[in-house]
Amino acid sequence: MQRRKLLTAPATLSIASALPVIPAKQAGMESLQFGPNFNFGISTSAYQIEGAVHEGGRAPSIWDVFCHEPHHITDGDTADVACDHYHRMPEDIDLIAGAGIKNYRFSICWSRLFPTDDRTPNATGFGFYDLLIDRLLAKNIAPWMCLYHWDLPQRLQERGGWRNRDTSARLAEFSDQVSRHFGDRVSHWMVLNEAAVHSRFGHGVGVHAPGLTGMASWASALHHLNLGQGLTIQALRANGVKGRIGTVACVEPIWPSTDKPEDVAAAQRLDAMWNGAVLDPLLAGHYPELVAEYFEPFCQPGDLEQTHQPIDLLGVNYYSRLHIQADPSVPLDANFGPDHAPVKYTALGWPIEPDGLPEILMRITNTYNRQEIFISENGFATVQDGRPVNGLRDAGRIAYLQQHLSFLKKAIDQGANVSGYFVWTLLDDFEWDGGLKWRFGLVDVDYETQKRTPKDSYHWYAQLIKLNTAVTA
Ligand code: GCO
């Protein structure tokens, strides 16, 4: 996600390569003990790694169309091949197993499973995910399946996509069929990934697929995502799936850049839009007052009972705080503003703020009745052209992960009910509008040869998991 699309990067970046180098073999792991029931995992998504966009009967998604239009993606990259995971899936699962990771969150590609219409399954597509899940289970890795990570079939976009209320029912119908097929083997079901980003960036400001803009477009897309999520949770429960049911949201503390009243008010509005309008309909059955008016044209009587469903656990993607100032030239009069010094940045210009993690976890804990949470994404990108000069020696990434894990522990000590932590991500992958240049993986991918090479952080994470397992076994 390009969190800073609406502003220019800070003039002086103290980039994370300047973080203290922590030797992978020490790295202060002794303090990172999370107990016997804690789930360490790793996350990916279908569109970002699979490639093979024309194979196995797959039809285009909105992202295929968006990538092939000019000027959307850095360097004109596409995900046509990406990490070629579709052909290299066994090797990639072996990498997960090789690090001792016992939980894998992945997403499924809707237009691979139902390319032509909503009722005709594509046996080749189902076969691919059957093999994936069976291989995971054979390696004793729990499959955490995300049903929708932004790659809507283009055929549904042509009928209005998420601005069309019917797409909510289509998601539930898709999930119903998928859960009947995989319901005996999936350990955790995640309905959506980051409805805030998908609605705002894809349907509000147009920097993600399907490239739409405007407040009405954003609000209708988000409401229909929320509704589709509620209907899906009910469908999964009705099918009696074995796995636990949840969803994934990016939840970030939103701070005003200054204490000027207009900046404080702008931060409150953005918080209602970014965090509240995703969590409240699901966990409390309403929209936040500050933005409720935008949803009125789309929210029909009874909708908020449908969106308000009990979940077993909430995935929280955390990268940093958002620092916001008033800016009348953008929707909601709220734009990114200067950060609070002293803050370090990743190479993407995202602030490194591990102390924001307990802040947001305690807020969720206190607001939503101690909801069980897992960290579904947390990770660190470098930006790279060509082959890595020193990309495998990723001390900055190790430091980032370690700092976030220490603050996660603080949140647990303060009472947050957190049962897992998943790193974003296994492989360097296709990072949406950032293309192939942003490298988040624990494993380096040479896109010329598709050779995978574990970085230091991969070995560090393996060691952390081993240490936790050894102590708790
Ligand atoms: C998101 C998505 C991931 C991203 C990751 C890094 O948060 O945008 O869930 O698909 O790739 O967060 O940007």
Question: What is the per-residue pLDDT across 113-139, written as a single tens digit (0 to 9) for each?
Answer: 999 999 999 999 999 999 999 999 999
Phi, psi of 134 (to 5 degrees): -65, -35
**If you take atom 10 of ligand 1, which residue's CA is the nearest one?**
45
> What spacing in Å lies between the alpha carbon of 1 and ligand 1's midpoint?
5
pLDDT of residue 384: 82
462: enclosing H helix or E strand: helix 456-472
Q: Cβ distance 174 to 114 under 8 Å?
A: yes
Residue 393 C-alpha from the chain's centroid: 25
Rounded to whole angstroms, how far apart are CA atoms 196 and 38?
A: 27
| Percent of the chain clearing pLDDT 90 (strictly above) | 87
Phi, psi of 250 (to 5 degrees): -90, 120
Assessment of whether the complete model's pTM goes beyond 0.85: yes
CA angle 283, 289, 293 (to 5 degrees): 110
User: Two tokens at 30?
Assistant: 């002794």
Rounded to whole angstroms, how far apart are CA atoms 237 and 246?
A: 11
In the chain, the domains with their CATH numbers are: 16-472 (3.20.20.80)
Q: DSSP string of 3-69?
A: TTTTSPPPSS--BGGGSPP--TTTTTGGG----TT-EEEEE--HHHH---TTSTT---BHHHHHHTS
Residue 68 CB: number of other CB atoms within 10 A? Answer: 13
Indicate if the pLDDT at residue 6 is higher than 80: no
Closest CA to 40 of 471, 473, 469: 469
Q: Is the CB of 252 under 6 A from ligand 1?
A: no
Q: Is the CB of 1 under 6 A from ligand 1?
A: yes
Q: Is the CB of 428 under 6 A from ligand 1?
A: no
Kindly give the pairing relationship between strand 334-336 and strand 322-326: antiparallel
Decide if 30 is catalytic. no
Decide if 252 is catalytic. no
DSSP-derived 3-state class of residue 386: coil
Q: Is the CB of 430 under 6 A from ligand 1?
A: no
Q: Cβ distance 315 to 376 under 8 Å?
A: yes
Q: Which atom of ligand 1 is nearest to the CA of 150?
A: 10
pLDDT of residue 60: 98
Question: What is the per-residue pLDDT across 28-37, written as a single tens digit (0 to 9) for each?
Answer: 688 899 987 8
Question: What is the per-residue pLDDT across 271-281, written as a single tens digit (0 to 9) for each?
Answer: 999 999 999 99
* Range in 21-35, 294-308, 452-466 the model is least confident about: 21-35
Q: Is 216 exposed, middle or buried (0-12, 13-18, 19+ CB in 10 A)?
A: middle
Q: Is the CB of 336 under 6 A from ligand 1?
A: no
Residue with tokens 């009705």: 238
Rounded to whole angstroms, how far apart are CA atoms 395 and 356?
A: 21
> What spacing in Å lies between the alpha carbon of 48 and ligand 1's midpoint?
9
DSSP-derived 3-state class of residue 225: helix
> What spacing in Å lies between the alpha carbon of 37 and ligand 1's midpoint?
26
First to last CA, the chain: 37
Q: Which atom of ligand 1 is nearest to the CA of 193?
A: 9
> What spacing in Å lies between the alpha carbon of 13 and ligand 1's midpoint?
22
pLDDT of residue 27: 55
**If you take atom 7 of ligand 1, which residue's CA is the nearest one?**
1
Which amino acid would we find at residue 33?
A: Q
- The residue count of the chain comes to 473
Q: Which of 50, 194, 252, 431 is catalytic?
A: 194
Q: Cβ distance 376 to 316 under 8 Å?
A: yes
Indicate if the pLDDT at residue 383 is higher than 50: yes
Q: Which atom of ligand 1 is nearest to the CA of 377?
A: 12
Q: Is the CB of 431 under 6 A from ligand 1?
A: yes
Q: Please report the beta strands in 94-156, taking only residues with DSSP state E, as ranges in sequence order.
A: 103-107, 142-148
> What spacing in Å lies between the alpha carbon of 367 and ligand 1's midpoint?
25
Rounded to whole angstroms, how far apart are CA atoms 471 and 35?
A: 8
Residue 93 CB: number of other CB atoms within 10 A? Answer: 21
Q: Is the CB of 189 under 6 A from ligand 1?
A: no
Across-strand partners of 316? 249, 375
Q: Is the CB of 377 under 6 A from ligand 1?
A: yes
Residue 433 CB: number of other CB atoms within 10 A? Answer: 18
**If you take atom 5 of ligand 1, which residue's CA is the nearest one?**
1
Question: What is the per-residue pLDDT across 322-367, written as a single tens digit (0 to 9) for each?
Answer: 999 999 988 788 999 999 878 899 999 899 999 999 999 999 999 9
Closest CA to 208 of 216, 226, 196: 196
Rounded to whole angstroms, how far apart are CA atoms 94 and 366?
A: 39
Which amino acid would we find at residue 272?
A: A
